[in-house]
Amino acid sequence: MQAQENRVITKVEELAFFGGGSPAFPDKLHVGRPNNGDKKRFLERAEDILERCWLTNDGPYVNELQQRLLDYTGGKHCVLMSNGTIALEIAARALGLKGEVIVPSFTFVATAHALQWQEITPVFCDVDPLTHNIDPYKVEQLITPKTTGIVGVHVWGRPCNIEALTDIAYRHNLKLMFDAAHALRCSHQGQLIGDFGEASVFSFHATKFMHTFEGGAVVTDDAQLASKMRLMKNFGFGPGYDNVIYSGTNGKMSEICAAMGLTNLESINSFIDINYDNYQHYQRELSNIPGVSLISYNEFEKNNYQYIILEIDPEQAGITRDQLVKILQAENILARRYFFPGCHNMEPYRSYFPNSKLLLPETERLTQKVLSLPTGTAVNNEIIRKICQLIRFIVQKSDEVSKLMHKISSSQM
């Protein structure tokens, strides 16, 4: 995709939001547009699946992908699932979580739903404003006699304070699980994410930089836990026929999804290289824009760089995050307010815990400031340059932009 040729905006009124002309991009630029590996190789695998007539039930591609993923996640055992949410639910159930489990509110709602669905109460914890990850100091303050576990989320693929959470879990005899949906092929102190806590849960949804169409996995060092989860994801069937030895559900990954995963794994280094190049270009193009901060990654660790995340300070930028999102979306740049408005402000949690925001000031702040920009194979350097030029122009003209937006809002009341 290319930007509209020769369209140079010099006046606020020329922005598409204000009816100033066609959007900067003819087609919509999505956050999380799928990266797809070699089409020919995928179709060869799809043909093989149809020839074998082995479509699901732990076929050869599922087993191959499980083994391959250990190279990218650490851990000794990988259990593939139909999606990341089912993986969270099965892992929580296999770990025996019940009562209350401490989780961040600054996460995708599936993290909380996977617990609530099993009548486990998610207790929302505030986050570190610098890392956007769960704050261990606040975790310890939330522990009660009903607490059975902690779920840390590696937000943007940047690791939680794993050592502090491990220490807290050990001292209070709690289970520790990590939602690593963002963290495939990321590391902490040189060790791949996936080899910490009792288990780490990954997502391979289509919006992730490495996908299986739909899919998820749990990685663990615990052979007994892995064995239990394999039973649970397949209705509790043990060896042989008609031998149900445990309660379970249907959480299996299909062969066609595994085939997509294997195909994408063959291109994973290319995907990461593209993400890193995009990240570097965004760094350069967004530098020195007042009130606009791009989160950084530790380049001494492995990263997948799959998220381009900005924090918008309205006092310095002269414009709010939400105003900026509206203007960018009118230009077909579908910037997103990530984790807005926070799980605690969604149902059923908003009704269950109406005063929880009083304990979550940093989460409340981040949900008003964070936005995500397009990256991955769907963009290139020229697209990034154009996106950042627009952001720079909007901030430079923030007084005029805000006045016009206020005028439009007032006329619609």
Report pLDDT digits (tens) over 89-146: 999 999 999 999 999 999 999 999 999 999 999 999 999 999 999 999 999 999 999 9
Q: At residue 277, does pLDDT exceed 60?
A: yes
Report d(CA 193, CA 211) in Å as an integer.
17
pTM: 0.95
Report d(CA 304, CA 209) in Å as an integer.
8
Give 407's pLDDT tier (boundaries 50, 70, 90).
confident
Report d(CA 169, CA 311) in Å as an integer.
31
Smallest Cα–Cα separation from 364: which of 109, 105, 138? 105
Residue identified by tokens 């408005």 is 341
How high does pLDDT run on average in the chain? 95
Report d(CA 48, CA 258) in Å as an integer.
12
Residue 408 has what pLDDT?
Answer: 80
Q: At residue 212, does pLDDT exceed 80?
A: yes
CA 134 to chain centre: 15
Dihedral angle sign, alpha carbons of residues 256, 87, 199, 73:
positive
CA-to-CA separations, 232 to 3, 91, 238, 245, in angstroms, rounded: 49, 9, 10, 10
Q: At residue 1, does pLDDT exceed 90?
A: no
Dihedral angle sign, alpha carbons of residues 111, 205, 333, 288:
positive
Report d(CA 231, CA 330) in Å as an integer.
49
Q: Structural domains in the chain?
A: 12-30+268-411 (3.90.1150.10), 39-265 (3.40.640.10)
Question: If you ran DSSP here, which 8-state letter would residue 251 be given?
Answer: -
3-state class (DSSP) for residue 212:
coil
Q: What angle do CA 218, 306, 319 make, to 5 degrees?
A: 125
Beta bridge partners of 219: 78, 200
Residue 37 has what pLDDT?
Answer: 97
Q: How many CA atoms lie within 13 A of 306 on its CB side?
A: 28
What is the average per-residue pLDDT within 239-257?
A: 94
Report d(CA 196, CA 377) in Å as an integer.
30
Q: Are 370 and 321 in contact (CB under 8 A)?
A: yes
Q: What angle do CA 213, 214, 216 make, to 5 degrees?
A: 130
Q: At residue 411, does pLDDT exceed 90?
A: no
Residue 222 corresponds to which amino acid?
D
Q: For 39-67, what is each residue's pLDDT tens digit?
A: 999 999 999 999 999 999 999 999 999 99
Q: At residue 2, does pLDDT exceed 60?
A: no
Two structure tokens written together for 341 = 């408005």
Residue identified by tokens 């806590």 is 197
Instruction: Say how many C-beta atoms besides its own lie within 10 A of residue 380's C-beta.
Output: 14
Contacts 24+ apart (CB under 8 A), 319-326: 319/291, 319/394, 319/395, 319/398, 319/401, 319/402, 320/368, 321/368, 321/369, 321/370, 321/371, 322/368, 323/401, 323/402, 323/405, 324/371, 324/391, 324/394, 325/371, 326/17, 326/405
Residue 410 has what pLDDT?
Answer: 73
Residue 6 has what pLDDT?
Answer: 55
